[in-house]
């Protein structure tokens, strides 16, 4: 085996984030071709025992567990110090992160510490004809995609957009070697303290990991009207999002915002209700597998980007769709 291809294994409390499995599944064939091992790397205070087996099932040969009392809560100082020190010691060839809130923050800081080349928010990973590792990422608000290589980077780093890579079915028979690591973290290494964590909408799947998203825009007219989107979402197991216009109007919170200045999402199905489809919004959801648009303006830009479009009043269409979806669900 070669130097190793690492995947930062991110936890959402005690559960491994799905994007970790997506990356592991897709980097394993690349590692096999290059004769390198795939390593999942956890950082925290106490990592659940089952997490290592889960990563093995999706392709990890080895699991590193970096544990320290100072890493109980995520801080970029603490996590970056622990991970960068270990990278400098082990010198893997590639380190990949999910392009989550934590992954985007951590990857940039670690890349600076280890002098790595970093590509962010990537939508594909592959080997070129010469066997070199490449990534694909959107540029100019999603207008073009660029294939990027790392010819002079001592270590390659990239963050991968959740939901764009398809994970392989897990194989529970696969096992991985587990190695625990205790990092050296001094009191002055962490300059911030987590005073309080406030949770909202605990039962809702995060937009970045949702497989179905129903978003409302300026056409929703007021906050109370988002209830009809929530009713449809309950039927099909979707998460409700919003455009920037709806958030700026105070109808939804910033955590619900989809777009260039909000969250970037890649669900299997994205339903845009009363959203005109500006390039800034499209930059945040353009990699959705199927896009459905409902808007009474036939000239709305969203209709040039969607797979299916309905030109009509959303207040007539959404309730009908909800009822039809209920019927289909009842039928089986």
Q: For the segment 153-193, what is each residue's pLDDT rounded down to a tens digit?
A: 899 999 999 999 999 999 999 999 999 999 999 989 999 88
Average pLDDT over every residue of 222-228:
97
**Per-residue pLDDT, 197:** 82
What mean pLDDT comes out for the span 208-215?
A: 96
Q: Are the C-beta atoms of residues 168 and 58 closer than 8 Å to each other?
A: yes
Q: What is the pLDDT of residue 1?
A: 43
Coil, strand or helix at 234: helix
Structural domains of the chain, ranges and CATH numbers in brackets:
5-189 (3.40.50.620), 207-331 (3.40.50.1220)
Q: What is the pTM of this model?
A: 0.89
Do residues 133 and 92 touch, judged by C-beta distance below 8 A?
no
pLDDT at 121: 95
Determine the pLDDT at residue 202. Answer: 52
What pLDDT was estimated at residue 26? Answer: 98
Q: What is the pLDDT of residues 50-101, one digit of tens each?
A: 999 999 999 999 999 999 999 999 999 999 999 999 999 999 999 999 999 9
Between residues 49 and 313, the one the model is more confident about: 313
Residue 10: pLDDT band with limits 50, 70, 90: very high
Single out the residue of 86, 68, 63, 69 nearest to residue 179, CA to CA: 63
Residue 128: strand, helix, or coil: coil
Q: Rg of the chain over CA atoms, in angstroms? A: 21
Res 204 pLDDT > 80: no
DSSP sequence for 63-96: EEEEE-GGGSS--HHHHHHHHHHHHHHH--SEEE
């Amino acid at each position: 085996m070669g130097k190793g291809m690492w995947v930062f294994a991110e936890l959402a409390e005690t559960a491994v984030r799905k994007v970790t499995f997506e990356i592991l599944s897709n980097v394993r064939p690349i590692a096999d071709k290059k004769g390198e091992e795939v390593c999942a790397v956890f950082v925290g205070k106490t990592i659940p025992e089952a997490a290592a087996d889960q990563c093995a099932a999706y392709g990890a040969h080895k699991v590193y567990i970096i544990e320290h009392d100072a890493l109980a809560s995520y801080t970029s100082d603490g996590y970056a110090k622990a991970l960068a020190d270990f990278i400098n010691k082990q010198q893997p060839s590639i380190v990949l992160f999910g392009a989550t809130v934590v992954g985007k923050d951590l990857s940039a800081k670690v890349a600076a510490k280890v002098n790595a080349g970093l590509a962010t928010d990537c939508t594909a990973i592959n080997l070129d004809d010469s066997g070199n590792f490449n990534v694909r990422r959107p540029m100019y608000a999603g207008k073009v995609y660029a294939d990027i290589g790392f010819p002079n980077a001592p270590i390659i780093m990239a963050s991968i957009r959740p939901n764009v890579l398809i994970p392989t079915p897990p194989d529970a028979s696969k096992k991985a070697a587990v190695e625990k690591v205790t990092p050296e973290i001094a009191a002055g290494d962490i300059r911030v303290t987590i005073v309080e964590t406030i949770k909202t909408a605990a039962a809702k799947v995060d937009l970045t990991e949702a497989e179905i998203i129903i978003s409302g825009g300026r056409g929703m007219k007021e906050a109370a009207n988002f209830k009809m989107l929530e009713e449809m979402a309950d039927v099909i197991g979707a998460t409700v999002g919003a455009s920037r216009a709806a958030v700026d109007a105070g109808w939804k919170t910033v955590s619900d915002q989809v777009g260039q200045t909000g969250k970037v999402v890649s669900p299997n199905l994205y339903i845009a209700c009363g959203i005109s489809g500006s390039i800034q919004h499209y930059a945040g959801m353009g990699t959705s597998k199927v896009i459905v648009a409902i808007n009474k303006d036939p000239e709305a830009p969203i209709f040039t980007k969607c797979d299916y479009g309905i030109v009509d009043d959303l207040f007539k269409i959404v309730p009908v769709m909800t009822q039809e979806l209920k019927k289909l669900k009842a039928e089986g």
